[in-house]
Amino acid sequence: MLTERQRMILNAIVDDYIRSAEPVGSRSISKRGDVGYSPATIRNEMADLEELGFLEQPHTSAGRIPSHKGYRYYVDHLVSLNSIKPSEIQVIKSFLTEKLNAMEQVIQHAGTVLSQMTSYTSILLGPEVFNTSLRHFQLLPLNENRAVAIIVTSTGQVENKPVSIPAGVSMSDLEKVVNILNSKLVGVPLYKLKSRLYSEIAQEMQKNVSHYEEMLQLLDATLDSEQRDQKVFLSGTTNMLTQPEFKDIDKVKDILDLLEETPTLLKMMSESSKSSGIQVRIGTENTHEAIANCSLITATYSLDGEAVGTIGILGPTRMEYARVISILDIISKNMSTILSRFV
């Protein structure tokens, strides 16, 4: 889509704007040793990039700033992820080896490390599933085709899920399934339910239940712990006040108000937890209007192969993407190792 020269110039503009927070002109780009084009050539390419929607020109300045589309192209095609300084790596290593005596402390400390290292706001979805186990499971038939799955946890939470009964499954088979689950899974932490379903329950069901494969699929969806018993941890909530683009107090107030709305944050963060790896949502890609001028970078962390929480950074679209993505990637990948100490 873009020529190599356009890619180089866009990369230079994004890098300069992230660093300076000032619109970038052709002359300052031409002085960079890694570009090597005249101001006139750069000016022409900048005009083309603006026409293509990758750059914007604030009315008060001759320079350009990246648009949301420009940031998206930068993140998808140009960003270099090997940008963590040795001192930052040491901070992360210290965090990984620190002796913390509770799972909640690990998550809070991870948030503090992230917000301090990036100067942005960290948002973590922490799993309470570690301390919550299954107390009782029930399948209550409504008719031949429909039932309600009832999950009662050790904390007293009762969850009802409507389910479709697979064709050919008898009431007798439903009773067998319920008995097998209650005999094998009561007392098992919620985050381990799905792995136990395949390591233990599947074998038992194969011996005793007809259409067991269809029932396994039903149980897989029913026991999914996503969005269950999750808690939001925040760190660096006032870091937005230090960003030049948020001098407008009304903009900051909307963001700070959003950060106090736990249900909204849960929904916002759990949208990211549906995909593995690093997720970057830039500007208007975020569904909430209050953060239409922000970027949210998230990653999930897992235990026993199942995602149990989400870790994220919220900052302006003029974010140090390379560093934030690199730091987030390292910490999220190591959260599993740290958290396994507590289970």
**Rounded average pLDDT over 50-74:** 92
Where residue 277 falls (left for φ over 0; alpha for ψ -120 to 50; beta otherwise) is left
Answer for the pair 203, 197: CB distance below 8 angstroms, yes or no. Answer: no
Query: What's the pTM value of the predicted model, to 2 decimals?
Result: 0.73
Answer for the pair 281, 317: CB distance below 8 angstroms, yes or no. Answer: no
The winner for highest mean pLDDT among 16-25, 164-173, 298-307 is 16-25
Quick count: other Cβ atoms within 10 Å of Cβ 135? 16
**Rounded average pLDDT over 192-204:** 84
CA angle 247, 249, 255 (to 5 degrees): 100
* Dihedral over Cα of 55, 56, 57, 58: its sign: negative
Is pLDDT at 71 greater than 70 in this prediction?
Answer: yes
Helix (H) or strand (E) holding 299: strand 294-303
Long-range contacts of 101-105 (CB under 8 A, 24+ apart): 102/342, 103/130, 103/131, 103/339, 103/342
The one-letter amino acid code at 143 reads: N
Is pLDDT at 66 greater than 90 in this prediction?
Answer: yes
What proportion of the chain, given as a percentage, has pLDDT over 90?
34
Report the chain's terminal Cα–Cα distance, integer Å: 49
Is pLDDT at 46 greater than 60 in this prediction?
Answer: yes
Burial of 193 (0-12, 13-18, 19+ CB in 10 A): buried
* Dihedral over Cα of 29, 35, 36, 39: its sign: negative
Q: Which domains does the chain have, with CATH numbers?
A: 4-78 (1.10.10.10), 86-128+229-342 (3.30.450.40), 132-222 (3.30.390.60)
Give the strand order in the sheet containing 146-153. 134-141, 146-153, 158-164
* Dihedral over Cα of 248, 253, 259, 261: its sign: negative
DSSP state letter for 27 = H
Helix (H) or strand (E) holding 107: helix 103-118
Confidence of residue 227 (pLDDT cuts 50, 70, 90): very low
Largest distance between two CA atoms of the chain: 80
Span 147-188, pLDDT tens digits: 899 988 876 778 888 988 888 888 888 888 899 989 989 988
